[in-house]
Amino acid sequence: MSSIDTATGCDAPEEISKERVHDIFSAIAKKYERFNAISSFGAYRIWLAELVQRSPVTSESRVLDLAGGTGDVSFAIARAKHPAHIQCTDLVSEMLDVARDHYRRGRANDTTIDFEVVDAQNIPYPDNSYDVVTVAYGIRNMPDRKRALFEMLRVLKPGGTLVCLEFSTPPNPVWRSLYGFYLKHLIPFWGGLITGDRKGFVYLSQSIKAFPRQEALARMFEEVGFERVEWTNCTGGIAAVHAARKPRF
Ligand SMILES: C[S@@+](CC[C@H](N)C(=O)[O-])C[C@H]1O[C@@H](n2cnc3c(N)ncnc32)[C@H](O)[C@@H]1O
């Protein structure tokens, strides 16, 4: 079996993680952004800026944002790089409803963004159709990560780039244990206080702990066929931005 329980990293049927993710994000959609800002002490903005900077987007680019949630990545890329088109997708329609609302209020400036419910493990778009694929805090929640990565590779044009922002593991042991304490005790507390759903934030802590380290994630990218895989640690490795290229031939 290639699917896992994303809370533990152990083999499990795909439905367990898929249903849990659906329940969590449909319930917290309207409060998601407030939680993000408070729990990361605003650092998520710096990490997002790193993703945007690492994304080789031009005014001609077609961009696919997977697990796009309430649209943070899509709007940041739209405002900074003005690509030809962004397809902002997510598994959970309630998250995309918030994104659509921001779009109607002009958050993308003049860039056209379309929104669609899509499971990143089964992308309904043709081969070789995007210049850049982005995924922020999404792949950790996917029970069949290899399949998701194969799908990302498939829809990228030859020479196109995948940029992935995800929580990671600080290499420094002192920083790692401080962060471990914050994850285990404070994240469920903050999450419960802000959204009223402590359970979802216990899951957040567990899934971060079970997620592969920077090197292992990079290897996974290479195993499905990406090349030139590199990453940048953010805030001492609490998060990392991985970038990888689809071979030209
Ligand atoms: C932590 S949020 C991140 C949202 C957004 N990328 C951001 O940076 O704020 C994780 C998102 O991943 C989505 N997600 C989880 N599993 C998914 C899947 N298999 N396919 C597409 N989206 C998925 C969830 O619905 C949720 O909106």
- In tens, the pLDDT along 91-107 reads 999 999 999 999 999 99
The structure tokens listed for 248 are 């030209």
Residue 193: pLDDT band with limits 50, 70, 90? confident
Whether 69 and 25 have beta carbons less than 8 Å apart is answered as yes
Q: What is the pLDDT of residue 1?
A: 53
Residue 11: beta bridge partners? 4
Q: What is the 3-state secondary structure (H, E, C) of 75-116?
A: HHHHHHHCCCEEEEEECCHHHHHHHHHHHHCCCCCCCCEEEE
72 CB within 6 A, ligand 1: yes
Q: What is the pLDDT of residue 197?
A: 79
| CATH class of the 14-245 domain in this structure | alpha beta
Residue 240 identity: A
CA distances from 12 to 2, 7, 208 (A): 8, 10, 17
CA distances from 182 to 100, 209, 238 (A): 33, 12, 11
Instruction: Quick: pLDDT tens for 130-171.
Output: 999 999 999 999 999 999 999 999 999 999 999 999 999 999
Q: Using DSSP, state whether 161 is helix, strand or coil.
A: strand
- Alpha carbon distance 1, 132 (integer Å): 30
95 CB within 6 A, ligand 1: yes
142 CB within 6 A, ligand 1: yes
Which residue has the least CA distance to atom 27 on ligand 1?
69
156-167: strand order across its sheet? 113-117, 85-90, 62-66, 130-136, 156-167, 239-245, 227-234
Instruction: Quick: pLDDT tens for 50-90.
Output: 999 999 999 999 999 999 999 999 999 999 999 999 999 99
197 CB within 6 A, ligand 1: no
CA of 249 to the centre of ligand 1 (A): 31
121 CB within 6 A, ligand 1: yes
**Best of 26, 74, 91 for a ligand 1 pocket test (most atoms within 8 Å of beta carbon):** 91
144 CB within 6 A, ligand 1: no
